[in-house]
Amino acid sequence: MTDWREQLAVPRDDFIPSVVWVDDPATDGFAAVSRDDDEPRWRALVDADEPIITQVDDGRTSPGGTGLRPSSSCSQPSLVAAMLDALDVREGHRVLEVGTGTGWNAALLAERVGETGHVVSIEVDTDVADNARGSLARAGYAPLVVTADGTEGYPPDAPYDRVICTASVRQIPRTWIDQTRPSGVLVTPWGTDYGDDALTRLEVHEDGSASGRCGMNLAFMRVRHQRRDYLDPTAEQISAADKTVTPRSGRELFEMVTFSRAAFTIGLRVPNCYVTVEDLDDDHRRIELHDVRSQSWARVSLVRGQDPWTVCQLGARRLWDEVDAAYAWWLDAGQPTPDRYGLTVQPDGTHTVWIDTPDSDSRWSLTLSRDNAQSA
């Protein structure tokens, strides 16, 4: 197999802005690192096989402030190579990229399609798009960079042979499929509100459907109107919450929040449920479940050596009960791993997930909308 470094013909340092952001333990947020002030540290970040945060808080936080939410980044190089490998871009292809970011991936796509191909890259953030255009021009690349909502695609230059998204989605937009040629390929991080996403590769069919398989674990930023949010109940609300205990062991709770074990399945069976895990210290862990739509929340408080552990639940839904039932289903189904799952998007937009084959008895539909998702 070709080493991933050999697949990336364009150096990424020309596309990384002079200010990037890193975890700041002192504030539990993100702090700026400037190339002008600390060239060695900036260079180490650029040269590492790691993602680089290039914007926080949709650009509202400036260097010197504390960032709260990453909002744009340059992906991990080895992962970029894996996604391009899955996309299988050929010379002469017409490619739609959703999420321009720094412009580096657009340059890599332009290299692959050559002079006879065409790359359209869409970026929702005006400043990010402008910076990418400048970096691409300086590096000698001229893809069309459009400032718009990438989930709408770009109809004027359709149809495309390939579509790639560099942010995660819980719904595959019909526009992407409609703007792709039959036998064309779509690659995106796809998943649920619950946890990480899977690298999903779909092929578009003559009847307007698209289907394919899920793959490796990805932790990408969400497209902006599908971001996951959490609840922060007050002490009074938590005190008044329903309280029970769970007989689940530490190993089982680990499986419930781990992508390669039960977490991907749980997300597919429990809609609108966002899981967060917080290690307070070596002996205390909190697993929380959030549904901001129904204002429902649950917490399992783990204390080493003091099980069974307490479960708190409040709101219209009993999220822990739903998640626990989904975990039991996963056990009964033979503990399917994420790579056994596939996805079919029908012409009417229905998302059907299946295990092993599309006609499997283990399949069910997800009815999705722009801002909501319910399991059928």
Termini Cα distance of the chain: 41
Residue 366 parent element (H or E) = strand 363-368
Instruction: Please tell me whether residues 97 and 203 are part of one structural domain.
Output: yes
Strands 144-147 and 118-123: parallel
d(CA 18, CA 36): 7
* Any domain includes 34: yes
Instruction: Please tell me whether residues 257 and 300 are part of one structural domain.
Output: yes
Q: What is the pLDDT along the chain (376 residues), one digit of tens a residue?
A: 457 777 899 999 999 999 999 999 999 899 999 999 999 999 999 999 999 999 999 999 999 999 999 999 999 999 999 999 999 999 999 999 999 999 999 999 999 999 999 999 999 999 999 999 999 999 999 999 999 999 999 999 999 999 999 999 999 999 999 999 999 999 999 999 998 999 999 999 999 999 999 999 998 999 988 888 889 999 999 999 999 999 999 999 999 999 999 999 999 999 999 999 999 999 999 999 999 999 999 999 999 999 899 999 999 999 999 999 999 999 999 999 999 999 999 999 999 999 999 999 999 999 564 443 333 2
**Torsions phi, psi for 316 (to 5 deg):** -70, -30
pLDDT for 227 equals 87
pLDDT for 371 equals 46
What count of Cα atoms within 13 Å lies in the side-chain half-sphere of residue 295?
6
CB-based burial label for 91 (10 Å; 0-12, 13-18, 19+): exposed
pLDDT for 225 equals 84
- Residues forming a β-bridge with 188: 200
* Any domain includes 351: no
Instruction: Please tell me whether residues 218 and 88 are part of one structural domain.
Output: yes
d(CA 219, CA 217): 7
Q: How far is CA 27 from the centre of its chain?
A: 25
Which residue, of 74, 95, 126, is where some domain finishes? 74
**CA proximity to 271, closest of 300, 293, 238:** 293
Question: CB count, 10 Å around CB of 258?
Answer: 15
DSSP state of 18: S
pLDDT for 49 equals 95
**Torsions phi, psi for 322 (to 5 deg):** -65, -45
- Residues forming a β-bridge with 198: 190, 217
Instruction: Calculate ∠ Cα 212-197-353, nearest 5°.
Output: 40
Instruction: Please tell me whether residues 143 and 259 are part of one structural domain.
Output: no
Instruction: Please tell me whether residues 172 and 55 are part of one structural domain.
Output: no
Instruction: Calculate ∠ Cα 296-278-200, nearest 5°.
Output: 75
168 residue type, one letter: S
Which residue, of 312, 332, 352, is where some domain finishes? 332
Instruction: Please tell me whether residues 165 and 273 are part of one structural domain.
Output: no
CB-based burial label for 361 (10 Å; 0-12, 13-18, 19+): exposed
Domain that holds residue 209: 77-225
pLDDT for 150 equals 96
Q: Are residues 69 and 27 in contact, defined by beta-carbon separation less than 8 angstroms?
A: no
Instruction: Please tell me whether residues 197 and 118 are part of one structural domain.
Output: yes
* Any domain includes 61: yes
d(CA 267, CA 251): 19
pLDDT for 206 equals 97
14 residue type, one letter: D
What are the distances in angstroms from CA 181 to CA 34, 93, 177, 217, 286?
43, 11, 8, 27, 47
- Residues 71, 75, 121, 135: which is the catalytic one? 75
Instruction: Please tell me whether residues 144 and 239 are part of one structural domain.
Output: no
Coil/strand/helix, residue 296: strand
Q: Are residues 212 and 187 in contact, defined by beta-carbon separation less than 8 angstroms?
A: no
Instruction: Please tell me whether residues 205 and 104 are part of one structural domain.
Output: yes
Which residue, of 204, 225, 246, is where some domain finishes? 225
Q: How many domains does the chain have?
A: 3
Q: Are residues 116 and 91 in contact, defined by beta-carbon separation less than 8 angstroms?
A: yes
Q: Are residues 243 and 311 in contact, defined by beta-carbon separation less than 8 angstroms?
A: yes
d(CA 147, CA 111): 22
Known catalytic residue: 75?
A: yes
Instruction: Please tell me whether residues 34 and 174 are part of one structural domain.
Output: no
* Any domain includes 196: yes
Instruction: Please tell me whether residues 66 and 157 are part of one structural domain.
Output: no
d(CA 333, CA 325): 12
DSSP state of 261: I
d(CA 334, CA 120): 43
* Any domain includes 340: no
**CA proximity to 353, closest of 270, 297, 276:** 270
CATH (domain of 263): 3.30.160
